[in-house]
Copies of this chain bind each other. A is one copy, B any other.
């Protein structure tokens, strides 16, 4: 039977796909709500499952862990960075291309500031979530390392530099994000990013040399 094709986002919905999508959103919504009320550790999988109307076992078909409910959407931004790197104007110096890619992501962050701040507060205050977050960032570093190696046309397994560049870029991103979060988003994230990237490009300025 031809289901009412609600002609959503330009693709074939498919009952199965739309159900999955709805279930995923239900889990995310239920979990976030419970986290804010009861805290992350005070919320059990069973409660989330009940609120999302699924079995506890099914939860793990959608998210590898309780932590990932907070980080999954955040993780998809990696693709944006890598995409921004691949499609970026190749006339740029690698470091400036990286800065551009991270500024793109930063713009996203600012546009969803409230959403992200709420999540980040939980992430930062819960060690297990912080750990998972770091694991994600490590995969970011791997991806950026690959992109930089490709750009420089070197092999990252025999040349240490691509990973160092990626690590420095990620450090700049982390430091900027931490600073931005510390003042609850009163400052502008892109400004921090630009500042940090330029500082690294300048060999960390006089900071490094001052005694």
Report which A residues bind B (CB closer than 8 A).
90-95, 127, 130-132, 134-135, 137-138, 152, 157, 160-161, 163-165, 167-168, 170-172, 174-176, 178-179, 182, 192, 195-196, 199-204, 207-211
User: Across the interface, do A134 and B138 meet the contact criterion of CB distance under 8 Å?
Assistant: yes
Q: In the complex, are the beta carbons of B134 and A95 less than 8 A apart?
A: no
Most chain B beta carbons < 10 A, residue from A132, A171, A196, A209: A171
Q: Report how far A93 CA is from B178 CA in the complex, Å.
A: 25
Q: Are B134 and A127 within 8 A (Cβ)?
A: no
A201 in complex: contacting residue of B165, B174, B203, CB < 8 Å: B203
> Would A164 and B200 be within 8 Å (CB), given that A127-B135, A132-B131 are in contact?
yes
Tell which of B168, B182, B208 touches A204, judged by Cβ atoms closer than 8 Å: B168
A to B CB contacts below 8 Å, 8 in the list:
A161-B204, A163-B175, A163-B178, A167-B167, A167-B170, A167-B175, A168-B204, A171-B171
Assuming A94-B210, A160-B176, A208-B93, is B200 touching A168 (CB within 8 A)? Answer: yes
Residues of B within 8 A of A171 (CB): 164, 167-168, 170-171
Min CB–CB distance A60 → chain B (angstroms): 16
Give the CA-CA distance A200 to B165 in the complex, in Å.
9
Q: Lowest 7 CB-CB distances: which A-B pairs, in order? A: A167-B171, A95-B208, A134-B134, A203-B203, A163-B175, A164-B175, A131-B135
Given contacts A170-B171, A200-B200, A200-B204, 11 further A-B contacts (CB under 8 A): A94-B211, A131-B132, A131-B135, A161-B199, A161-B204, A164-B172, A164-B199, A167-B167, A167-B172, A168-B200, A200-B203
Q: Are A168 and B165 in contact (CB under 8 A)?
A: no
CA distance A64 to B168 in the complex (A): 31
Q: How far is the CA of A170 from the CA of B195 in the complex (A)?
A: 20
Report B-chain residues with C-beta under 8 Å of the C-beta of A91: 211
